[in-house]
């Protein structure tokens, strides 16, 4: 195999969705598996919905996940710029080239006229696609319209025939061109349409494999036609299945958290998230679940991606996170948890002296089996670290109101002081059973 060049091209209209993160991960794994190049490109073609804040959020989420890109924002590369909005001049150049070659044509139809035709077709009970009103418009009529102030869009002229390709996930796909209307590639205001921009950038950046969500399958015949019209060989395509919620509907905000940023804030570890996302729709073979990044890279294959939708199960993510928390050595775990304890008023820098620090390590190891996320440590460790502990008044009356309580506590204190074993779950249970 040639060294592949793949890209992840998010739109900065929101924070990085877990579905987008999974697509980025598959591209990253494929590039690393075959010694290729992973390109990050920001597709900010919608100026009204794109924002610098969202760009920064996407980049930060990619860094948190550990999906380092070889070319892209902040890294540079031979095909800069990597923001689509900064490449509009190139896109317009290719649109004009397609018009000049007869593969596209100018369209002067207004949005109002197009909407009227669409509504008329719907009233008649049929579907509608562009009727090529402007395909054979005379040069004189075109000059007259432009003289009156009408700015044309550019439409790609879809040829007769069929487009077929072998999708690396979906298998053989064939689409009759009769299902595709002559689609706009350049708006009347001079801004390029997504279809042209993505193909132009993929060509210029030498993309060899396009790995993306299967919601793009309907776009692929248009993109292949554009590649061919521009005299280039299309890349290989692999359309990965969508991610569903536990109700088997497309994962969305109604299912709760969907952005990588929120999962980071809630205390999930990046390695756990990467492992979990990697197994959503991809199988490495066998019954392996907990896998390091290196193991995932060594095993990754497009052939292992299922064509069926994957279910995002929050409980499974919690399980993965628990597994990765358990793998952390005591000191890295302390460093992860300490800021949360400080924010909760349970730890300050005066406690960093060695005896107290070692005590914290032991406490965290003790409560670890009951923890799924980093913030869980705060509640679990509170009884060991708080100066005072609030108890349920009813429980106090029931269990701490007995006359011989002081004697029982004194016996426990003596037993714990006499025990020389480590302060862990087994030792505590042994002492308590000995007193009981």
**Residues 251 and 301 both lie in one domain:** yes
As a whole number, mean pLDDT of residues 338-347 equals 89
**Residues 74 and 109 both lie in one domain:** no
Question: Does residue 10 register a pLDDT over 80?
Answer: yes
pLDDT digits (tens, 9 = 90+) for 30-73: 999 999 999 999 999 887 888 999 999 999 999 999 999 999 99
Q: Cα separation of 6 and 335, whole Å?
A: 36
Question: Does residue 3 register a pLDDT over 90?
Answer: yes
312 lies in some domain: yes
**Residues 8 and 98 both lie in one domain:** no
36 lies in some domain: yes
Q: Please give the pLDDT value at position 351.
A: 63
| Rounded (10°) angle between helices 18-33 and 270-278 | 80
pLDDT digits (tens, 9 = 90+) for 128-147: 899 999 999 999 999 999 99
Higher pLDDT residue, 393 or 284? 284
**Residues 189 and 100 both lie in one domain:** yes
Q: Cα separation of 73 and 59, whole Å?
A: 8
Question: Does residue 104 register a pLDDT over 90?
Answer: yes
- Report the CATH number at residue 25: 3.40.50.620
Q: Please give the pLDDT value at position 352.
A: 65
CA 203, 204, 210, 214 dihedral sign is negative
Percent of the chain with pLDDT over 70: 97
SS3 of the chain: CCCCEEEECCCCCCCCEHHHHHHHHHHHHHHHHCCCEEEECECCCCCCCCCHHHHHHHHHHHHHHCCCCCEECCCECCCCCCEHHHHHHHHHHHHHHHHHCCCEEEECCCHHHHHHHHHHHHHCCCCCCCCCCCCCCCHHHHHHHHHCCCCCEEEECCCCCEEEEEECCCEEEEEEHHHCCCCEEECCCCCECHHHHHHHHHHHCCCCEEEEEHHHHHHHHHHHHHHHHCCCCCCEEEEECCEECCCCCECCHHHCCCEHHHHHHCCCCHHHHHHHHHCCCECCCCCCCCCCHHHHHHHCCHHHECCCCEECCHHHHHHHHHHHHHHCCHHHHHHHHHHHHHHCCCCCHHHHCHHHHHHHHHHHHHHHHHCCCCCHHHHHHHHHHCCCCCCCHHHHHHHCCCCCHHHHHHHHHHHHHHCCCCCCHHHHHHHHHHHC
226 lies in some domain: no
61, 263 in Cβ contact below 8 A?
A: no
- Report the CATH number at residue 126: 3.90.800.10
* Class of residue 408 by CB neighbours under 10 A (exposed 0-12, middle 13-18, buried 19+): exposed
Q: Please give the pLDDT value at position 385.
A: 84
**Residues 101 and 186 both lie in one domain:** yes
Task: Kindly give the pairing relationship between strand 184-186 and strand 5-8.
Answer: unpaired
Annotated active-site residue in 129, 249, 250, 253: 253
As a whole number, mean pLDDT of residues 148-154 equals 96
71 lies in some domain: yes
261 lies in some domain: yes
**Residues 249 and 270 both lie in one domain:** yes
pLDDT digits (tens, 9 = 90+) for 78-94: 999 999 999 999 999 99
* Confidence at 349, pLDDT banded by 50, 70, 90: low
Please indicate whether residue 338 is annotated as part of the active site: no
Q: Please give the pLDDT value at position 128.
A: 86
> Of 367, 256, 271, which is closest to residue 314 (Cα–Cα)?
256
**Residues 264 and 321 both lie in one domain:** yes
205, 5 in Cβ contact below 8 A?
A: yes
End-to-end CA distance of the chain: 69
Lowest-confidence pick of 157-166, 186-195, 245-254, 264-273: 245-254
**Residues 124 and 179 both lie in one domain:** yes
- What is the number of structural domains in the chain? 3
Higher pLDDT residue, 207 or 122? 207
**Residues 310 and 253 both lie in one domain:** yes
204 lies in some domain: no
Instruction: Report the chain's mean pLDDT, rounded to a whole number.
Output: 92
Question: Does residue 256 register a pLDDT over 70?
Answer: no
Q: Cα separation of 213 and 6, whole Å?
A: 14
**Residues 270 and 245 both lie in one domain:** yes
365 lies in some domain: no
Domain range holding 6? 1-79+241-327
Q: Please give the pLDDT value at position 398.
A: 75
Percent of the chain with pLDDT over 90: 74
Lowest-confidence pick of 209-218, 226-235, 375-384: 375-384
154 lies in some domain: yes
> Of 411, 360, 410, which is closest to residue 384 (Cα–Cα)?
360
Higher pLDDT residue, 194 or 384? 194
* Class of residue 48 by CB neighbours under 10 A (exposed 0-12, middle 13-18, buried 19+): exposed
**Residues 118 and 57 both lie in one domain:** no
Q: Please give the pLDDT value at position 301.
A: 97
> Of 29, 85, 15, 7, which is closest to residue 258 (Cα–Cα)?
15
Q: Cα separation of 311 and 31, whole Å?
A: 25
Question: Does residue 353 register a pLDDT over 80?
Answer: no
Q: Please give the pLDDT value at position 279.
A: 97
**Residues 131 and 167 both lie in one domain:** yes
Indicate yes or no: pTM above 0.85.
Answer: yes
Question: Does residue 322 register a pLDDT over 90?
Answer: yes
């Amino acid at each position: 195999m040639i060294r592949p060049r793949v890209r992840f091209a998010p739109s900065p209209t929101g924070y990085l969705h877990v579905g987008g993160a999974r697509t980025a991960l598959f591209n990253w794994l494929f590039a690393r598996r075959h010694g290729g190049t992973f390109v990050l490109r920001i597709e900010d073609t919608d100026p009204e919905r794109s924002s610098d804040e969202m760009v920064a959020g996407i980049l930060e989420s990619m860094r948190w996940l550990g999906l380092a890109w070889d070319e892209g924002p902040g890294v540079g590369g031979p095909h800069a710029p990597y923001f689509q909005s900064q490449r509009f001049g190139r896109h317009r150049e290719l649109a004009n080239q397609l018009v000049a070659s007869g593969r596209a044509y100018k369209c002067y139809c207004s949005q109002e006229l197009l909407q009227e035709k669409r509504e008329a077709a719907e009233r008649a009970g049929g579907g509608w696609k562009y009727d090529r009103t402007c395909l054979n418009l005379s040069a004189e009529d075109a000059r007259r319209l432009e003289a009156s102030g009408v700015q044309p869009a550019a439409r790609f002229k879809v040829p007769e025939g069929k487009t077929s390709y072998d999708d690396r996930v979906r298998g053989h796909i064939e689409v009759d061109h009769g299902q595709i209307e002559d689609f706009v590639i350049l708006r009347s205001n001079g801004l390029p349409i997504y279809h042209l921009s993505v193909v132009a950038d993929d060509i210029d950046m030498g993309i060899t494999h396009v790995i993306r969500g299967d919601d793009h399958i309907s776009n692929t015949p248009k993109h292949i036609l554009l590649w061919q019209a521009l005299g280039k060989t299309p890349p290989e395509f692999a359309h990965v299945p969508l991610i569903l919620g536990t109700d088997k509907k497309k994962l969305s905000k109604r299912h709760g958290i969907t952005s990588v940023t929120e999962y980071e804030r809630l205390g999930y570890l990046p390695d756990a998230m990467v492992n979990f996302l990697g197994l959503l729709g991809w199988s490495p073979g066998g019954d392996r679940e907990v896998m390091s990044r290196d193991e995932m890279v060594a095993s990754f294959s497009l052939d292992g991606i299922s064509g069926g939708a994957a279910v995002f199960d929050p409980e499974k993510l919690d399980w993965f996170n628990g597994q990765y928390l358990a793998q952390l050595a005591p000191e890295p775990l302390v460093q992860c948890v300490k800021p949360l304890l400080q924010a909760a008023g349970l730890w300050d820098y005066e406690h960093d002296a060695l005896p107290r620090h070692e005590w914290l390590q032991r406490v965290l190891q003790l409560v670890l089996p009951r923890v799924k996320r980093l913030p869980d440590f705060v509640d679990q460790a509170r009884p060991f670290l708080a100066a005072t502990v609030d108890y349920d008044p009813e429980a106090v009356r029931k269990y701490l109101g007995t006359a011989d309580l002081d004697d029982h506590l004194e016996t426990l204190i003596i037993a714990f002081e006499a025990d020389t074993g480590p302060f862990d779950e087994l030792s505590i249970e042994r002492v308590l059973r000995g007193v009981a």
